[in-house]
Structure 1
Amino acid sequence: MRWLVILLVLSLSACSTRLGKDGRTETTVDAKYLIKTEVDRIADTGRAEVMGGLMLIADKLYKRNPKEWKKAGLASREAALERLSLRNQRSWPELAGAREGPAAALAFSETFSGDRVAALMFGLFSMADAAFEHKEEFYILDGLNEIKLYNCARNMEVAIWKLSQDKNSLGEPYLLSNELDPARRNLSFEREFGRLMGILDFMAKVVADRNGRNLSRLTQTVVGSIFLPVSFLK
């Protein structure tokens, strides 16, 4: 139902109404709307929601782990988020060129001394970019791959698992996230990751249907502690 409402809003926003010379109301349609399918418009919205949700998670992680942005020599949490929003590979010398899964995995490595929030979130952002074919807007001839979207969703699940389970040699979590103490219970990280997984899984099913493929076989995949490949898939 939610997606039907989104499509209705998009349809209405594509039309403009004005008063003609004869006094009658005239409705015009934005030409941009005519070269987009419904799936393209859903993809536009889905990508924006995923990227916005990841930035929200990054903000929450920096709030709980302020020492991480200080490792990068940045002046503030806002500066760290600004660097993350640009996602320029040259801005991440501590990642040594790593992207997607290899970058995210650094956040849970005992030997990594850099900004763990940056490593995890840059990895997840680059996965999402790859899942949406590094495009910000979609048109009729643009294609998406349902397996990339599905794997990206599973990687969000892996990230949740690693945030709660992976610990250093002292038995401490590499990054503080959900608070399980009944007195201070906070599951906002898990809820936001779950929302993004839902969007990506929905997109994967929509794309599979458009591509004439069946996605059901993928639902048997067992999620472990390893980030799945995204950009290397064809």
Structure 2
Amino acid sequence: METFGMKIFAWIGLPLVVVIAGCKSTPPVNGHVVPEAHLTGGQFAQSDPNRMATLELRDNLAALYLLMDKLYKRNPHQWAKSGAVSREAAEAQVRDAIDHRKPLPGLGELRDIKAMSRALDPDFQGDRVAALIYGTADMLVTAHGGKQNLYLLDGLDAQRVYNAARNVEIAMWRLAQSKDSQGQPLLVSNELSEHDRNLSFERLFGGIVGRTDLVAEFTAEKYRRSAINYLQSFVGGQFLQFIPVQAVMPAS
């Protein structure tokens, strides 16, 4: 049986590897390459829309974790509020809560947009960075059906995904505008001055919005495309006739 399985891999698996390898023809610029995920068995249970949404959410969470690191570095007093012994420990605590979809210490049962709002509430005395990143990530996962990996039986609500993108835009605006009673930013992020212009936070948020919007539009479009493709195949099928392969005999 093992020999038979190896033969199947040789006939199917190896050509697939060759095809995938052959797709890489354009050299990277400055060492930057397109991020890829290793081929896994679970991908065979994903449709193209499933895979697209899974990759979008993966990249959005990665962007949020990068934002968290940047915010902690610019606001080091925040991670100390979490009770963690270091910035890295505070980040690990947030990641664990997101990945396992459990409450974040210091927020009680607040999740999703409620956690986002709490993070930018001037009266909040807890870790604002953790609350903002946790709430935003939980909101995005919720909009994707509560899952980070989507499969054939999973569906997406295009409007919910679209709403999630708008929530990220609101978070970006409120992060830049929210101030305490002394007129100081609740969280230091982008920097605009005569000598420096740091918009890295805005770019990361913008990337999240762009990816999320694309999946929302693709999800809304796929149902229309399914109906159009069915109609095209039905109409086109009426004109497809078998073609003779034998020589036509002249009439006697």
TM over 0.5: yes
Shift of 1:182: 3.3
In 1: Cα distance, 2:42 partner to 2:74 partner: 42
Deviations 1:172-228 (A, max 9, x none): 110000011131211000000000100000000111112449xxxxxxxxxxxxxxx
Q: Secondary structure at the match of 1:43?
A: helix
Give percent identity, aligned residues only: 39
Shift of 1:91: 4.0
Q: Secondary structure at the match of 1:27?
A: helix
Aligned to 2:150: 138
Aligned to 2:102: 89
In 1: Cα distance, 2:51 partner to 2:60 partner: 14
CA contact (8 A) 2:103 2:110 kept: no
Shift of 1:119: 1.2
Aligned to 2:58: 48
In 2: Cα distance, 1:137 partner to 1:76 partner: 30
Deviations 1:76-122 (A, max 9, x none): 11011000101153442x21211111111112212111001111111
Shift of 1:33: 4.2
Write the letter of the residue equivalent to 1:60. Answer: K
For the pair 1:176 / 2:188, whether they are aligned, the reply is yes
For the pair 1:76 / 2:76, whether they are aligned, the reply is no
Q: Secondary structure at the match of 2:12?
A: strand
Candidates 119, 128, 151, aligned match of 1:116: 128
In 2: Cα distance, 1:198 partner to 1:144 partner: 17
Write the letter of the residue equivalent to 1:84. Answer: V
Candidates 203, 210, 224, aligned match of 2:215: 203
Aligned to 2:45: 35
In 1: Cα distance, 2:74 partner to 2:180 partner: 17
Aligned to 1:147: 159
Deviates more, 1:98-107 or 1:31-40: 31-40
User: What is the alpha-carbon root mean square deviation over aligned residues?
Assistant: 2.3
Candidates 110, 122, 137, aligned match of 1:98: 110
Distance 1:179 1:206, change over 3 A: same
Q: Secondary structure at the match of 2:153?
A: coil
In 1: Cα distance, 2:53 partner to 2:71 partner: 27
CA contact (8 A) 1:107 1:174 kept: no
Unaligned 5+ runs, structure 1: 1-17, 214-234
Aligned to 1:26: 11
Write the letter of the residue equivalent to 1:173. Answer: P
Distance 1:138 1:74, change over 3 A: same
CA contact (8 A) 2:103 2:111 kept: no
Q: How many residues align?
A: 193
Q: Secondary structure at the match of 1:89?
A: coil
In 1: Cα distance, 2:163 partner to 2:139 partner: 9
Q: Secondary structure at the match of 1:112?
A: coil
